[in-house]
């Protein structure tokens, strides 16, 4: 885990806690903590939970990524692409911090379309993942983990090269859809297509290599 990424994660958690502390006197007793896909509130919690909810999830994310190298079996080590996995950890923590600040802003009466703000951010998050997905090496925890990518190094890398492009394209398209406030179903459709295409491709590529006898002894 890169020290700079860990420091950035700690700074984001501290920012969330300090922002909550300053906003606390202006918060209602019950604050909105969940919205549906249309930006309508469908969940409330006591205001003190803002000190715990997202920061706990951020800490949990850091703990999980810290444990992955130890959890990984031989030949599938997450540590073999440590800078990339560390960057992905920072992306997740950053998204959670952003969502926390959105909740605070809405709770103190700030004007904001939550559907646009959340879907737009998630879209950029997906695009950012795609930007580094080609650097992820074969493992059991991160990336496009299908039976065919895990069975073949060539299928893994071929699939992730495609997935990188698919994620970036879907993420950018999703951001445009969110900003244009198009129907939510169109956003979901774009993200689903961007996610499913690499899954299908991993099977197609595996079968093509298998038929050509190019898998060698790598597939168990």
What's the pLDDT score for residue 75?
Answer: 87
In sequence order, what DSSP letters do the residues of 22-83 get, joined into one string? HHGGGS-SEEEEEE-TTS-EEEEEEGGGGGTHHHHHHHHHHHHHHHHHHHSPTTS-GGGGHH
Final residue of a structural domain among 75, 90, 112:
112
What does each C-alpha distance from 95 to 4, 28, 68, 178, 207 come to in angstroms?
17, 24, 20, 16, 37
* Cα separation, 152 vs 25, whole angstroms: 56
53-112 pLDDT tens trace: 899 999 999 999 999 999 999 889 998 899 999 999 999 999 999 999 998 998 888 888
Same domain, 25 and 79: yes
- Give percent of the chain above pLDDT 90: 75
pTM for this one?
0.90
User: Are 16 and 58 in contact, with CB atoms under 8 Å apart?
Assistant: yes
Shared-domain flag, residues 122 and 220: yes
Contact 146, 199 (CB under 8 A): yes
In a shared domain, residues 72 and 122: no
| Residues 101, 192 share a domain | no
Give the tens place of pLDDT for each residue, 168-217.
Answer: 999 999 999 999 999 999 999 999 999 999 999 999 999 999 988 878 65
CB 97 within 8 A of CB 12: yes
Chain segment 129-138, per-residue pLDDT in tens: 999 999 999 9
Same domain, 67 and 119: no
Indicate if 4 and 107 belong to the same structural domain: yes
Q: Please tell me the predicted confidence (pLDDT) of residue 220.
A: 45
**Total number of domains in the chain:** 2
Residue pair 192/166 in contact (Cβ under 8 Å)? The answer is: no
- For the segment 1-46, what is each residue's pLDDT rounded down to a tens digit? 788 999 999 999 999 999 999 999 998 888 888 777 666 777 778 8
Asked if 165 and 126 sit in the same domain, the reply is yes
- Residue 10 sits in the same domain as residue 71: yes
Do 209 and 155 fall into the same domain? Answer: yes
Rg (CA), the chain: 20
The whole domain housing 42 covers 1-112
* Pairwise CA distance, residues 64 & 53, whole Å: 17
Residues 9 and 93 in one domain: yes
Residue 219 confidence (pLDDT) above 60: no
- Give the three-state DSSP class for 139: coil
What confidence score (pLDDT) does residue 216 get?
65
């Amino acid at each position: 885990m890169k020290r700079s990424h860990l420091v950035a994660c700690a700074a984001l958690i501290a920012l969330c806690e300090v922002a909550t502390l300053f906003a606390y006197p202006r918060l209602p007793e019950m604050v909105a903590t969940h919205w549906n896909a249309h930006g309508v509130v469908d969940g409330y919690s006591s205001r003190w939970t803002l000190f715990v909810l997202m920061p706990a999830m951020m800490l949990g994310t850091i703990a999980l990524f810290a444990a992955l190298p130890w959890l990984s079996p031989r030949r599938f080590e997450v540590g073999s692409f440590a800078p990339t996995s560390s960057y992905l950890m920072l992306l997740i923590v950053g998204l959670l911090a952003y969502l926390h600040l959105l909740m605070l802003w809405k709770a103190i009466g700030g004007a904001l379309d939550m559907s646009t703000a959340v879907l737009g951010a998630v879209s950029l998050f997906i695009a950012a993942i795609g930007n580094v997905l080609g650097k992820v090496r074969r493992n059991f925890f991160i990336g496009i983990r299908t039976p065919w990518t895990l069975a073949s190094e060539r299928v893994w890398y071929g699939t992730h090269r495609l997935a990188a492009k698919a994620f970036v394209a879907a993420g950018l398209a999703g951001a445009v859809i969110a900003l244009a406030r198009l129907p939510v179903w169109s956003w979901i459709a774009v993200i689903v297509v961007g996610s499913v295409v690499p899954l299908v491709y991993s099977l197609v590529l595996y079968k093509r290599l298998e038929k050509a006898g190019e898998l060698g002894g790598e597939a168990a």
